[in-house]
Amino acid sequence: MRNITLIARRELAAYLRTMSGYIIIAAMLLLVGILFTTVVMWGPSKKSAEIVGEFFKYAAFFSMVGSVLLSMRLFAEERQTGTLALLYSSPVSDWEIVLGKFFAALTFLSVFHLTTFFMPVLVMVYGKVSWGHLFAGYLGLTLLGACSLALGMLGSSLTKSQVVAAILGGVFVTLVVNTYFLARVTLPPLTQILEAMALYAPIFRFMEGVVRLKDVVFYGLVSYVLLYANTRVLEARRWR
């Protein structure tokens, strides 16, 4: 656990020292704010709960985009600069490296989530929204962000180019999101298979303020499998 904490602090410090992390969060916050103002606040008259649900929908999309951008450097930059060899030579295991980097990126992504909190609070000032709805929505954003980060990390672990890592991460995220839309136009049993793979589907229930243990377990299991895949990629590259 100590090694994971040290690696997480190292990665988090790297985000804080450079402007890239701040630029990513600022850009996402700006775009979410614009959509929230123009589409949600100035759109057709809606109930407060519906407005908050719309906000979480846009925030979920940008969380996935931001996850890919934040995770693209985690392994690709290390391999490009040659510092990954130093980690390999350190007394840390591959799974500790993966978890340390993952928790650092998830912590930084949570900063973006925190900066958006004033938007649903504005709705609460002028309308009626339960705290349970907000808790469910932000829990969904965190879980979806964790899965997206793990996907982005997988793309970063496969290459030493950050651009290629971002492209791979974007492709992976797009594939698992599109399964939700494909499931709506296919026939059984393919429909059930695609629905089970749809990373984006459970988030709609969180947007409505509904937390199901099944959905939490689903996101947790997907994150675990993807992080395990990252560990296996590191192990394979260690002995090259």
- pLDDT in the model for residue 138: 93
Instruction: Tell which residue, 33, 27, 95, has the closest CA to residue 65.
Output: 27
Using the predicted structure, report yes or no on whether residue 146 has a pLDDT greater than 80: yes
Mean pLDDT taken over the chain: 83
- pLDDT in the model for residue 97: 85
pLDDT in tens, 43-87: 666 777 888 888 888 888 888 888 888 888 888 877 777 776 666
- pLDDT in the model for residue 122: 83
- pLDDT in the model for residue 239: 60
Only one residue has tokens 């040290």, namely 6
pLDDT in tens, 174-219: 887 777 777 777 777 777 777 777 777 788 888 888 888 988 998 9
Using the predicted structure, report yes or no on whether residue 101 has a pLDDT greater than 70: yes
Using the predicted structure, report yes or no on whether residue 148 has a pLDDT greater than 80: yes
pTM, two decimals, is 0.87
